[in-house]
Every structure is written in structure tokens, then in C-alpha cells.
Chains A and B, each alone.
Chain A
Amino acid sequence: MSIILISLLFVSVSLFLLPKRIQYPATLLLVVSIIILSGQAALQAFNSTNPVQIPFFRLSDNEIFLVIDQISAFFILVSNLTMLTGILYAKGYLKPYLPGKSKTAMGLHYFSFVWLHLSMLLVCMLRDGLSFLIVWEIMSLASFFLVIFESEKPSTIKYGIQYLIQMHIGFAFLLVAFLISGISTGEPIGFESLQKYFSTRAVFPLFLLFFAGFGIKAGFIPLHTWLPHAHPAAPSHVSGIMSGVMIKMGIYGIIRVVTFIHTDLLAIGIFLLIISFISGVIGVILAIVQHDIKKLLAYHSIENIGIIGLGIGAGVIGMATENFTLAALALAGGFLHILNHSLFKSLLFYTAGNIYQQTHTRNIEKLGGLIKKMPKTALFFLLGSVAISGLPPFNGFISEFLIYLGMFKDLHTGDLLLSLLLLGGIVGLVIIGGLAIYCFTKVFSVVFLGNPRSLQSEKAKEPERSMFIPKYLIGFFIVLIGLLPVLVLKPLSGVVSVFTPDVSALIDVAPSLQGITISLSIFILVTGALWMVRKWRTKTIETGPTWGCGYTGANPAVHQYTATSYADYIGNLAKYITGTRKHYKTIEKDEIFPAPRKFETHSSDVFEDYLISKPSGKLLKFLDRIAVFQTGNIQHYLLYAIVFMLLILVLTLLNLV
């Protein structure tokens, strides 16, 4: 195994040296071979009841194993799929950058890409604490280098560094958590020591530490502040991968920790449910007020992390209260949503990449009417939008359906607390779903429908064909899971069986999923039939202008509903979260001919303001004040040294040091 790793290291380093032309095919080859190797092991783990163990390497006397159980296998397969579509998409997306980038810069990008892939796979497989933390760090570094690809822009560097700092705060939490569990149990640090720790000591505090560490990666609110900046700064294939799978590694970590907890699960379940509810609802509210398409999608990742968390939280509550129907269905829904989100979110980021490449803007207020210029891109964006809103007949609906069903089924059996929690979960899913529809009708309509709002969007055209190959692949899976959800039951029950021995609920749900298949087939048939009937009945088709309510002088680009006005309702209803501010001058009564005036709105993220911007601003001010000591005068520095030595002398005399 270590031979493979070392050879991969050498091959990936050679990416720097290859001529530019060959760099991409070499990376593709490397990624595909990693996928084949790891996919094989993952499939093997899926089909066996015991975890697959592969010796990895020896560290002094310690033999370190790669352990692949069904959870790891699931995450490996999800990562592989998205890495494949990512590298396929990168070909066309990176093409315009090639002339401006040196061989080394491209080499670094591809090298980081390969190592992000490898490190994510290893994160899912390693149980030993030290090596886990090392690959976790490699994952953060590799993604950092991927984010700062467009390093000539100052904002990219700024947000890249912000990302790097936040990742290291998370790393510190994980390190402390591992050390505590290792030292207090006397076992080598790693996941295995948690078994002993959690069975003898208070569970919640250590879980909270792990949650803080992994939650920063996953982007739970209020740990999410890096997400909306890093995703827009990164090139689109990287955003798709980071949002599609890398943030799921945080979820993996939380899930892995939970598998070792057997006491006090209820508190953890409630905690996960509540924080996921908050992440889901606030994430989507903040998404609605964004105008940068990639920032909007980044906030939607937070929302989807919330949905995943609702499923897992409800599942953990089900395990704690021994409601195994709830446990099995909600966990299955949560896991399926991990896969689903990786599919439609990467699809949405790739289509957003098409838009950015063609129009050179991410501001949706400057777009419009793109469906006529980029019909295929529009179709895929619509597919992603409907799927992410959790609507049938696509995959997002299936995972939400499983979570709903689990919650509804155990409403009656549980006690008062459980009933209230489940009602909260149901209402959370409903609100998130409704807001997601609000958000995606906004972004799809403003970007693709109506009239173009700028010259760029008028001149846009479809990008090169290779950029659609990954989209067809993703689209296929989105439709497949949406229409034939029975297919996913067996793999899901394998994953869920790691948590709860009783997965009969997943067998009982099969008729419902078949019912969904039947309903959706009828739905498609009816729609198709209506289409035929209309074609046959309608004799004349005329075109004319849109009804302007009697006014024909409208400017088609300006007199449309804008994204700002579409988001206005939510901005007002939730102004304490979105921090929406409007700047304008009211028209006075005596102003008979009003002068031209401006109207501006701003929104911000209240968590970022109060958790990051304001404290760091205050810290900087304080440090500025301390800077009076830094005079640049050598005499002063000598004085400091003497004062210090005198201090030491006095303290020694007083026996204080």
C-alpha cells in the first residue's frame, strides 16, 4: 500500500515538470486510477459486513491500517464521483486561463487537485489520530492552493487566507479533542480511543470540541463564515468539489465520532437537530439576499448541510429513544442527501462556471435572457434548481421524503419531548423547502429568463462541448435517483446498519418508493400527453410583445423584476439576520419635478459581522495601540532588553521564577 502512495507522490510531483499540453491528461489519468483503486476497495467494503482492513505503513512499532467500513465506503464513492466530474469539467473551464498561467502554476493546481482527492479518501479511511490529522491538514492545504488559483486578484488571496486561518482554528479544536481523549484513556490517540473515553466519561463536552473542529469544515452556522467567500473566489470546478464533497468531510467526522457514542445520545441528537435547523433556515435566508451567483450557491451549501444535519440529528434522537423507524429512515435520508447534494450542487457550480466564463460576471443583476443564448446550460441549471429545492421528480425530493417519513412515523410512539422535536424538524424542512423554492425561482428567472440586462449577457454563447460531459453524467444520476429511488435502498441500509441493527424500516419503505415511481411516471406521461394534445389542437401560434398594461414605451432590459426586488420581502422579514440596509432620498412633497436619484441596498451576514469582522477589527485597533513600542529606534529596543533583564533579576531575587 505504501508503495502505491509513494509512487503516486512521485507521479504527482512530476505534474510540475510535464509540458502544459500533457498536464491535464496526466492529471485525468491519475484521478481515474485513484478512483479505480479506491472504488474497488469501497465496493468490497460495501459487500462485506466487517470493515475491510488494509495495512498502510509502519510508524516505529505502530502498524497503521486503512479501515473501510460502510460509512467510509459511502463517502469514498461520493468523493470519487464528484472528483471525476470535477476534473472532466476543469478541461474546458481552465482553457481560457492557460495562456496567462505558467507551467508551474498549472502544475501546482493539478498537483493540489490530486492531493485533495487523495487526502479526502484517506480522511475517510484512517482511524489513527496522528495520521488522520496529517491528511486532514493536507486536505485543507490542497484546497487552499486550489482556491487561490486566480491569485492575481487581491480578493482571492484575502479570502484564501481567511479560509486557511479558519481551517486551522478547526484543526486546533480537533487536535485538542484527540489529545484529551488519548491522554485521559491512556490509549494511542485516534478514533479507537474514543470508544473507551465515551463509555467512561462525560460525552457532551468532548463531542462539542469535535463538533467545533469538524463543523467549521462542514459550515454549520455560526461556523460558516469562510464558505461564502472561499467558494466565489475559487474556480468553478473547485467550488463544485469543495461544496459537493469537501465540506462533507466535516459531516463524516461528526458521524464517525457519533458511532463511538453509546450513552447520552439524546442530548447530542437534540443539539444536532437544533443547530441544523438554524443552519438550514438562516443559510437559505442569507442565500436569498445574495446577488453573486456563486456566493448564493455557497449559502445554499450551508442550507443543505442543515438538511443533512436534520436527518442525522433526528436519526441520532431515534437511536437514543429506541425509535428505530425514525433512526433508520432519518439516517438514510441524511446519507442520501449527502450524495444528492454532491450531485446537484456540483452541477449548479459547473453551470455557474459556464455563465462566468461567457459573461465574466457573477452578478446576477447583470444577467438575464441567457436561456436563449445558452439553452443547454439553462436546462442543466433548471435541473439543479428543481432538484436542490427538493421537488419531485428529482433526487432531492427522495432524501427529504425519507426524513419526513421517519419523522411522521414516530410522532405517535415517542413521548412529549420527541413529538415536539419531530414537529420542529418537520416545520424546519417545510420552511427550508419553501425558502429554497423562493431562492431558486429568483436566481433561475433573473439569470436565464426575461430580457438581457447587460451587453455581456446579450453576447453570451454556449461554452465548448467537453464542459457538458460531466453535466450529463450528473444529470443522469439526479433523474435516476429521482425516478427509481428503490435502487438506493440497499446501499443505504448497509450504511445505516452501522448505527442501528434494526433496518427493517428501510425494507418497509419500499412500497412508498415504488408508489413514488408510479406517481412520477404517470405525471410524466400526463405532461407528455398534454403536450401532444396541445400540438394537435392548437392551429395557430402567434407571437407578440409582452403585455405592458397599456404602456408600450418600456425599456425591456430595465423594466423587469430584479433580483433585489424579488428578495425584498425576505430581506424585510428577516432584516435582523440579513442586515439589509437601504440608502435613498425620499421625494419631498414640494418636489414637482423630482431630480434623478440613486437607490442602494446592502446586506451582510450578521454572524460574520459579530463573530469575525467586529472582534478582529477591535483586536487590530488594540494591536495598533501596542505598536507605540515599535519605534524603529535601536536605543529603545536596548532599553526594553535592559528592563526585561532587570525584571528577571528582581523576580529571581524575590524567588518568584
Chain B
Amino acid sequence: MVLNPLVILLVSLVFPGVVAQTKAKIVGRKGAPVLQPFFDNIRLFQKGNVYSHTTSWIFQTAPLIYFSTIFMAVLFVPLGKQAALLSFEGDFVVFAYLLAFGKFMMIAAAMDTGSGFEGMGANREALYSLLVEPAFFIVIASMALLTNHTSFYDLFNNLHLESELSYLIALLSVYIFLWIAMVENSRLPVDDPKTHLELTMVHEVMVLDYSGFDLALIQLANGIKFAIFGALIFNFVLPMQDYFAAQLVIFFIVQLFFAVSVGALESFRARNKMAKNPQWILSLSALAILGFLSVLIVTEKIILFN
């Protein structure tokens, strides 16, 4: 139980490094060491803060709240047979809404700088997160429909018991979660963190004015967010396995695989046109509804053949 957050936080420290390393290898560069982002953050923690004249206390509290919402989200994630530290019926609603509260504050903070660019980024972040949210809830709803449970732990642990078709549904859910993770973390194809132009950024432009401790917190939080989604994906694909050590090994393998696929996706995909992003994100919800319909078939609420 106490181990869950620890391993997730551990993974989060190297996750951005692995993604960067993969991208470097694919384009034939040597790439920075895997722990480089971590060292960067350590350095940032030692620096002083610079605030804009325009900003208020909103700007200063937002990163703290953002980080602690994501830290809280970690406490809700179960790992296989290991229940999460906080586990109760409906915990996924608290999980999703806490993350949304963090986003609310970050959007407000970006608007607090009075910069047109940051406002634009904040606006896009608000739009994309509102569009991606239904997909998450529909996937959870399909799982609740399949298992008749309403907490992360029970949902995942009863997922594989129903029928072999449920593996198909798990696979679809993993696919959707992978893309949700990309949208939530503002990565390709909705946002390119490596772009050079403020006009085309989403998340990066929102944090332009942060420095020192605050910036380090935000970057750490982004790493944790990836690790959380990696852990959720791990829960989907976990075969029935009672040995804790084996679970742990599988966990790290899944996270590594997830990080490498993020790197690979980012290397081979171009960013969508900004105007096309809403349709693209909504297509995730459409996929999730397909998943829900197939669960209706599995649970014999829709009967196809008599």
C-alpha cells in the first residue's frame, strides 16, 4: 500500500528522461542521460524565484496546488493486488476532479500574467481538458458496467474475471488511456512541447513565467502525471499474478514500454493543426463509446444472436 506511491514517484523521476532518450535514439542523436531532467529539477529547486509585476498570489499558489493535486492522484492508484492508500467507492471521481482543480488553478495562473500568449495557451488547455474528460469517464463506466464495482481497485481486479472478451475491452481501454495521457500531458499530437514558437504551444507557454522552485514543481508534476497513467495502463494489462516481486518487475517493464512508446509516437507523428484538435480529441470519446457498447454485448444487455 505504502509502496504504490513510492514506486510511481520513482518511475516519474526517470520517465521524462526515457522519453527524451528514445526520441534522441530514433533521430540518431546521442541524447542526454536518463536522469538529466531530474538533475535539472534539483538545480531549479536551489534557485530563487522571479515573479512578474502583473501577477498576484494566484500565480504563486497555483504550482503548489497543481503539484499536490497530482501527488494526491498518486495515492488513488492501485497496483495490481496492492490496494491504493486511498481507496473507496467512487474514488475515481475524486481522482479526476482533483486533477481538474489543479488545472483550474494553472489556467488562472497563466491568465494572471496578463500575457496574450499565455492566455492563448490557457484557453487551449481549458478546451482540450474539457474535451478529453468524457473519454476517461466513459472508459470507467464501461468497466463499472462490466464488473459492477465502483472503486479503482475493484474495477481493475475484477476486470479479467468476466470473459475472454473482456481482454479485448481492456486492450481498447489501454489504447484510449494512452492517448488520454498524451492529451493530459500536452504532448503530440495535440501539442508539441519542443516547438520554438509561443503561438503554437499549449502547456509550455502557460508556464513561461515560472522559475526556480515553482518551475521544478510543475516539471516534477508532469513526470508524475505520466507515471500515473503508466500505472493505470499497467493495471489493465496485468495478468493474474499473485507474487509481488513479479508484479513489480512487470510494472517497471510496462512503464518502460509506455515511455518508449511515447517517445516513438512523438518521433513519428506530426502535430495536428490546432483547429483539428477538438475533433481529434472527441474521437477518443467516440472510441470509448464503442467500448461501452461492446461491454453491453458482453454483459448480454444487447443480444446480437438468439
What mask results when residues 372 to 396 of chain A are scored 1 for a CB within 8 Å of chain B, else 0?
1000001000100010011110000
B209 touches A445 (CB 8 A): no
Known: A434-B131, A441-B104. A449 touches B48 (CB 8 A): no
Among B84-92, B174-182, B245-253, which stretch is in contact with chain A?
A: B84-92
Beyond A415-B301, A445-B108, whether A556 also contacts B49 by CB under 8 A is no
Give the interface centre of B48, B57, B88, B292 by most chain A CB atoms within 10 Å: B88
Of all chain A residues, the one with the shortest Cβ separation from B102 is A391
Interface size bracket, A side: 35 or more
Q: A391-B100, A433-B133, A531-B64 in contact; A516/B94 too (CB < 8 A)? A: yes
Q: Are A408 and B144 closer than 8 Å at their CB atoms?
A: yes
Would you call B50 and A544 a contact (CB within 8 A)?
yes
Which of B64, B69, B104 contacts A437, CB < 8 Å?
Answer: B104
Which residues of B201-219 have CB atoms within 8 Å of chain A's CB atoms? 208-209, 212-214, 217
B144 interface neighbour in A411, A435, A561, A569, Cβ under 8 Å: A411
Which of the segments A153-161, A346-354, A546-554 contacts the partner chain?
A546-554
Verify B198–A401 contact, CB threshold 8 A: no
How far does the alpha carbon of A329 sit from the alpha carbon of B103 in the complex, in Å? 28
The complex places the Cα of A565 from the Cα of B119 at a distance, in Å, of 9
| Cα–Cα, bound, A544→B209 (Å) | 10
Residue B54 lies at the interface, judged by CB distance under 8 Å to chain A: yes
Among candidates B51, B75, B103, B117, residue contacting A519 with C-beta atoms closer than 8 Å: B75
Q: How far is the CB of A375 from chain B (nearest CB, A)?
A: 8
Stretch at the interface among A227-235, A424-432, A623-631: A424-432
Query: Using Cβ atoms and an 8 Å threshold, which residues of chain A touch B292?
Result: 423
Chain A 512-553 near chain B by CB (<8 Å), digits 1 or 0:
101110110011001100110010011111111111110000
Taking a contact as CB atoms closer than 8 A, the residue among A448, A526, A559 that contacts B72 in the complex is: A526
Cβ contact within 8 Å between B213 and A412: no
Interface residue A335 (Cβ < 8 Å from any Cβ of B): no
Are A434 and B133 in contact, CB atoms less than 8 angstroms apart? Answer: yes
Interchain CB contact (< 8 A) of B86 among A401, A518, A538: A518
B145 near A386 with CB under 8 A, answer no
Other-chain contact of A546, B52, B61, B68, B87 (Cβ < 8 Å): B52
Which residues in window 13-67 of B have CB below 8 A to A? 45-46, 48-58, 61, 64-65, 67
* Interfacial residues of chain B within 243-291, with CB under 8 A of chain A in the complex: 278
Q: By the criterion CB–CB under 8 Å, are A541 and B51 in contact?
A: yes
Q: Is A450 an interface residue (CB 8 A)?
A: yes
Interface string of B100-137 (1 = CB under 8 A from A): 11011001100111111111101110110111011001
Contact in complex: B141, A411 (CB < 8 Å):
yes
Contacts of A415 in B (CB 8 A): 301
Q: Among the listed B45, B56, B104, B209, which residue makes an inter-chain contact with A372, where contact means beta carbons less than 8 Å apart?
A: B56
User: Which of A378, A400, A543 has the largest count of B CB atoms less than 10 A from its CB?
Assistant: A543
Known: A412-B145, A449-B58, A556-B54. A389 touches B48 (CB 8 A): no
| B130→A437 contact, CB < 8 A | yes
The complex places the Cα of A519 from the Cα of B151 at a distance, in Å, of 15
Choose one: B134, B213, B301; the contact of A537 (CB below 8 Å): B213
Q: Within the assembled complex, what's the spacing in Å between the Cα atoms of A441 and B134?
A: 19
| A431: chain B residues within 8 A (beta carbon) | 130, 133-134
- Chain A: which residue is nearest B64 at the CB level? A530
Please state if A371 and B49 are interface contacts (CB–CB under 8 Å). Answer: no
What chain A residues lie within 8 Å of B104 (beta carbons)? 386, 389, 391, 437, 440-441
Q: Which residue of A lies closest to B72 (CB)?
A: A523
- List B contacts of A539 (CB < 8 A): 48
Residues of A within 8 A of B103 (CB): 437
**Number of A-B contacts defined by CB within 8 Å:** 247
User: Which of A419, A430, A440 gathers most chain B CB within 10 Å?
Assistant: A430
Report yes or no: B56 in contact with A540, Cβ–Cβ below 8 A.
no
**Is the pair B108, A405 in contact by a Cβ cutoff of 8 Å?**
no
Interface presence of B71 (CB below 8 A): yes
- Min distance, Cβ A351 to any Cβ of chain B, angstroms: 16
A541–B52 alpha-carbon span in the complex (Å): 11
Q: Are B53 and A541 closer than 8 Å at their CB atoms?
A: no
A409 at the interface (CB under 8 A from B): yes
Q: A389-B104, A519-B86 are in contact. Are A412 and B133 (CB under 8 A)?
A: no
Contact (Cβ within 8 A) A561 B48: no
Residues in A neighbouring B49, C-beta threshold 8 A: 538, 540-542
Query: Given A427-B137, A434-B129: A541 and B48 within 8 A (CB)?
Result: yes
Contact with B along A445-456 (1 / 0, CB 8 A): 110111100000
Q: Which of B90, B115, B140 contacts A512 (CB 8 A)?
A: B90
CB B139 to nearest CB in A, in angstroms, measures 11
Smallest CB gap from A394: residue in B: B101
Q: Are B145 and A546 in contact (CB under 8 A)?
A: no
State in angstroms the CA–CA spacing of A519 and B71 once bound together. Answer: 11
Q: In the complex, are the beta carbons of B53 and A544 less than 8 A apart?
A: yes
Contact yes or no, B115 A548, CB < 8 A: yes
Contact of A449 with B209 in the complex, beta carbons under 8 Å: no
B93 at the interface (CB under 8 A from A): yes
A546 / chain B contacts, CB cutoff of 8 Å? 52-55, 113-115, 118, 209
Which listed residue (B119, B127, B133, B140) contacts A560, Cβ 8 A?
Answer: B119
Contact B72 A561 (CB under 8 A): no
The answer to whether A412 touches B68, judged by C-beta atoms less than 8 angstroms apart, is: no
Given known pairs A543-B52, A546-B115, A560-B116, the reply for A413 and B148 (CB within 8 Å) is yes
- Is A573 part of the contact surface with B, judged by Cβ < 8 Å? yes
A422-B144 Cα distance, complex, nearest whole Å? 12
A441 to B130, CA, bound (A): 12
B48–chain A nearest beta-carbon distance, Å? 3
Please, which residues of chain B bring their CB within 8 A of the CB of A411?
141, 144-145, 148
- Interface pair B54/A512, CB less than 8 Å apart: no
B112 engages A445 (CB within 8 Å): yes
Q: Which residue of A lies closest to B93 (CB)?
A: A404
Find chain A residues with CB under 8 A from B140 CB. Answer: 408
Measured CA separation A514–B89 after assembly (Å): 11
B138 at the interface (CB under 8 A from A): yes
A363 to chain B, nearest CB (A): 18
- Contact across chains for A537 and B108 when beta carbons are under 8 A apart: no
Q: Known contacts A404-B93, A435-B130, A546-B52; decide if A515 and B68 are in contact (CB<8 Å).
A: no
With A391-B101, A426-B141, A438-B127 known as contacts, the answer to whether A408 contacts B133 (CB < 8 A) is no
List 20 additional contacts besides A519-B72, A519-B94; criterion CB under 8 Å. A371-B57, A391-B97, A391-B100, A405-B90, A412-B299, A426-B138, A431-B133, A434-B129, A438-B126, A441-B104, A508-B89, A514-B88, A515-B88, A523-B68, A541-B51, A546-B113, A546-B118, A547-B52, A561-B122, A573-B278
Q: Could you list 28 examples of A-B contacts with CB < 8 Å?
A: A391-B100, A392-B98, A400-B97, A401-B90, A404-B90, A405-B90, A408-B90, A411-B148, A426-B141, A437-B126, A438-B126, A438-B127, A440-B104, A441-B108, A446-B111, A450-B54, A450-B112, A512-B91, A522-B75, A522-B86, A527-B61, A541-B50, A542-B51, A543-B50, A544-B52, A561-B119, A561-B123, A569-B123
Give B residues with C-beta under 8 Å from A.
45-46, 48-58, 61, 64-65, 67-69, 71-72, 75-76, 86-91, 93-94, 97-98, 100-101, 103-104, 107-108, 111-120, 122-124, 126-127, 129-131, 133-134, 137-138, 140-141, 144-148, 150, 198, 208-209, 212-214, 217, 278, 292, 296, 299, 301-302
User: What are the nearest 9 A-B pairs in CB distance?
Assistant: A561-B119, A434-B130, A540-B48, A445-B111, A515-B88, A412-B148, A450-B114, A526-B68, A546-B52
